[in-house]
Amino acid sequence: MTGTDPWHEALETYLAHLTVERGLSVNTVAAYRRDLDRYAAYLAATGRTDPSEVTERDVEDFVLALRTGSDGRAVLSAASSARAVVAVRGWHRFWLLEGVTGADTAGAVRPPAQPRRLPKAISVDDVGRLIDAAGLGDGPVPLRDRALLELVYSTGARISEGVGLDVDDLDRTPGRGSVRLLGKGGKERVVPVGAYALDAVDAYLVRGRPALAAGGRTGGPALFLNTRGARLSRQSAWAALRLAAERAGLPGAQHISPHTLRHSFATHLLAGGADVRVVQELLGHASVTTTQIYTLVTRDTLREVYAAAHPRAL
């Protein structure tokens, strides 16, 4: 924007306000300048010469231009567009407070919706490969790592919940296995444990944990111990999973985290027909809306099944 532009003085006044009265950093003000320079140029191109002439529709059309490039400039991501909308709304609010305009025409304009980031899940086969890889080798550590991953996937536990387990938190009764998990905010829930996980935990308790407990320090009642006999840490559990993912040769092994098993637990249950409210209880979510993001993941599965099964789908 040039000095002859009718919006130049208005923009410089606002940027001075941000610098002097709001005390924003040089970098932040520079970001505001970039976004508002584009907005001012857009308003000038539409024939607007004064803030009082700007309508809510003008602001909405500018937001659309950010996402489509219809103003001849670069298309911005949802996150960058949201930043620009914040800048625009701040400028309009400033005009209202300074008495330049009689209304805040940008107040009701919302940033473009951020795309929902779907939880990352791996396939059932890849879960099996991951757990098998964790159990490779001799000694107590592979027994521990396999038991830990089996249990986390079987229950959907957070890794902090898994390493925080005590031996007495497990009910290993065949056919009625369950575990007591302590979630966020100290909220307790009891979750069923599958046969594969129970078998892996039994093997670890018989042949693995006693050897680890003899390593020196006592882990007390802790279920999962490190090689020094103390409670296994979250960091060590993460490292064990990462090593197993690399051994298994899973795609994107470097991005697989303990939470991947929790995501996979929820996704596989819903794909298998589980009710979303049941999955909510199993995960320990306070609200079902948190759980419902997993239903978006399973829609891909529904489309694949539909395309393969319906006689006139393709």
Is 33 marked active-site?
no
- Using only the alpha carbons of the chain, give its radius of gyration: 28
CB atoms within 10 A of CB 222: 20
**What is the distance of C-alpha 202 from the center of its chain?**
33
Any long-range contacts for 169-177 (C-beta under 8 Å, 24+ apart)?
A: 169/223, 170/201, 170/223, 172/198, 172/201, 172/202, 174/198
The residue from 92, 158, 209, 231 that is catalytic is 158
Best CA proximity match to 151, nearest among 201, 104, 108, 99: 201
Q: Which residues pair with 225 in a beta bridge?
A: 231
- Given 33, 38, 144, 285, the catalytic residue: 285
d(C-alpha 54, C-alpha 41), whole Å: 13
Distance in angstroms (rounded) separating the CA atoms of residues 16 and 36: 13
259 labelled catalytic: yes
The secondary structure of 219-257 as a DSSP string is -TTBSSB-TTSSBPPHHHHHHHHHHHHHHHT-TTGGG--
State the catalytic residue, choosing from 83, 129, 231, 262: 262
285 is catalytic: yes
Please answer whether residues 187 and 180 qualify as being in contact, where contact means their C-beta atoms are separated by less than 8 angstroms. no
Both tokens of 98, joined, read 């300074």
3-class DSSP assignment, residue 270: helix
Catalytic one of 57, 184, 187, 277? 184
Amino acid at 89: R
Neighbours of 118 (CB within 10 A): 14
- Which tokens sit at 139? 């000694």
Query: What single letter denotes the amino acid at residue 267?
Result: T
Q: Write the CA distances from 176 to 49, 198, 201, integer angstroms.
A: 74, 10, 15
Catalytic-residue membership of 306: no
Instruction: Show which residues are catalytic.
Output: 158, 184, 259, 262, 285, 294
